Every structure is written in structure tokens, then in C-alpha cells.
Amino acid sequence: MILSAIVMISAVYRFRLARECAGELLNKISRNEEAALHFIVALERKLTMIAEQSFVKTTGKHSTKREKLWTAFYTLRANDLFGMWNKMISRLKMQDKFTDMWLPQTVARVALESIVKAKYPVEMSASNPQITVDSDEQNALRYAAGFVFMSLKKKYSSMGVTAITDWINKQADTDSVDSADSFQEFTKSWIRKVNRGGLFCVSDSAYDLFLAMEKLLRQYLEDLSVHQGIDKDRVMSSIEEDDEIQSMWSLLAIDLTEETEKALLKQTIQLWLTIRGFSYASAIVEEYKRSCGALKRKKALRKELKEKSKTKKAAEASEN
């Protein structure tokens, strides 16, 4: 898990120096450098213990377990992580190159998420049917996801927060060779066809996040009575605390600080729910209009009887 986290950072981390450091660390590992291997084994043991204590030895809701997981992780970060990291790079004589202190935290966070996802996956309730999204809906979904990120980018650009605007730019689809055969390629093709400039086509990883949120929202709406109102706070909490959403977001936001990451997730969900709320309301209005139209097209009973009476009298008169 630690090794895969370092590989990921060497490929996608926002800061060039951090990517180079991760790449050099991979070279040390490939040469079986004792200090690097010792760090990997020790950190993975600690992270596995944190995950086990949080998900196996803790009772209660999933949100409670996850809260304990991250509390234990931040304790590890404050007490042991940087000491373990500095000891390793000192023995490898790489202190001058590892200037980005977010790197060890990011390695540990990505690895912990991978351990949790592999060993303690979320169990889907058998009572909940599989939510499906058709191709037209997926096209609209990627479009709406791009609108959310573009709105957030405009907000933070006006505030001059370059760290967030740079991160949002990274969520755009790069149209790389690796994604050319993606099963979601048709949605990107649709965006490119309708784009006249200004549309933000999100990456597959970002799209997967919105698809997961959409399925959770639909599950909630399907259980909702027509006469019930939407409890936005309840929906917000259920999406924000969902294990799959948390896992996907943590990997998506690996180069953001923990405070920024949490705040940005909340804003992303809020904006998404606002868009979907308007969509849901419009669907209800359209359904109401259709039902009213059907009623209008149906003749009133008195008028229908009157016409039948006229027809009958005309038939009798012709017979006479």
C-alpha cells in the first residue's frame, strides 16, 4: 500500500519537486535500500493497526469509526510520522531534496485510504436496489460536474486563492492516451461536441465522484414520499459521511491541506445539491403539467352525455 501511494504521488502530485522526490525514493526502494524498506514496513504496520482499531474494535455507526480513524491518523502524523520520515531520508542522505513536508503526510494518507478500501469495504444493503444512470443522464452529469468546478474556480479566482484554482484546473480532463479507451469516453465526446468554449470537462476520477453522489441522492429520492420535503441537511450529511465518497475525495484531493479538503468537499456537495434540487423541482412541475394536460384533454361527463344524446336523436330522426 505504501509503495502504491509513492507511485501515485510520483505521477500526479501537484508540485514538481515532490514528484521528483517520490520518483527518487522509488529508485532507492528498487535497489533494496534498507532505510527505505524499513520505513515502508514500519509505516504500513502502524496504518494497518489504526484501520483495525477503528473498523474492527470500534462499535457504532460508520461515521463514528471513520472519525476515530482520522483522529488516530493525525495523532500518528503529529507524534511519529515526521520523525520516521526524517530518519529515513537522513540515512539515505536525501535531506536536501525532500523539502516538501506535505509529501510524507500524503504518502501516509493515500496508503491509509487504500488499506481501508481493501480490507474494510462498505457493505451495500440488500434492500437497496442498484441505481442505474443511462447514457443521456451521464452526459448531463459530466456537464453539471464541470459547472460545479467552474463555479468554484470563479469563486476562488476572485479571492486570489491560487492553491485551490490550481487544484481545480487539475481536475479537468487531460484527454490523455490512457483515458482514450475509458468506458466513460462517450460522455467526454458529447461534451466536446456541444462545447463552444467555456465548458469544463472533468476527469474520469472527478466524474466518478459525482456519479457516486448522484446514486446516493437518487436512492434518497426514491424513498421519498411525494408529500415529503427534501431534508437538505440530512442528504448533505449522508453524502459527506459516505465511505465511498470520503475515499474517492481523499484520493482526488491528495495535494490539498486537510482543512481545505474538508471545506471544499462540503462546498462541492452543497453546490451539487442545489443544482439537483432545481432539477428535481422541475421534474415535479413537468409531471404536474402533463397530468393537468391529460385531464384537460378528457371531456367533461355532462358534455360527453349531451353529445351522445344529440347523436342518438339524430339517428332516430333519420330512421323516421
**pLDDT tens-place string over residues 197-241:** 566 778 888 888 998 898 888 877 766 555 456 677 788 888 888
Cβ partners under 8 Å of residue 207, min gap 6: 141, 142, 145, 184, 187
| pLDDT surpassing 90 at residue 269 | yes
Structural domain span for residue 109: 2-119
Whole-angstrom Cα distance, residue 193 to residue 139?
11
96-147: per-residue pLDDT in tens? Answer: 766 666 778 777 887 887 788 778 765 444 334 467 777 778 878 888 888 8
The one-letter amino acid code at 79 reads N
109 closest CA partner among 79, 68, 81: 81
User: How much of the chain is helix, strand and coil, in % rounded to 5?
Assistant: 75, 0, 25
* Cell numbers at 204, concatenated: 474520469
Per cent of the chain over pLDDT 90 is 9
Cβ partners under 8 Å of residue 247, min gap 6: 113, 116, 117
Does residue 89 share a domain with residue 31? yes
Mean pLDDT of all residues belonging to the chain: 74
pLDDT value, residue 267 = 94
Of 87, 119, 151, the position where a domain reaches its end is 119
9-63: per-residue pLDDT in tens? Answer: 665 555 566 667 777 777 777 777 788 888 888 888 999 999 898 888 877 776 6
pLDDT value, residue 152 = 92
Question: Which pTM value belongs to this model?
Answer: 0.56
pLDDT value, residue 261 = 86
Does residue 97 share a domain with residue 52? yes
Phi/psi for 14 (5° steps) reads -65, -40
Report in angstroms the alpha-carbon separations of 199 from 149, 181, 202.
10, 22, 9
Q: Averaged over 263-279, what is the pLDDT?
A: 85
Beta-bridge partner residues of 202: 172
Domain count, the chain: 2
CA 308 to chain centre: 61
Q: Quick check: 111 and 43 in contact, CB under 8 A?
A: yes
pLDDT value, residue 91 = 85
Q: Quick check: 151 and 271 in contact, CB under 8 A?
A: yes
DSSP-derived secondary structure letter, 197: S
Does residue 53 share a domain with residue 179? no
Of 119, 154, 181, the position where a domain reaches its end is 119
Is 272 a domain residue?
A: yes
Is 314 a domain residue?
A: no
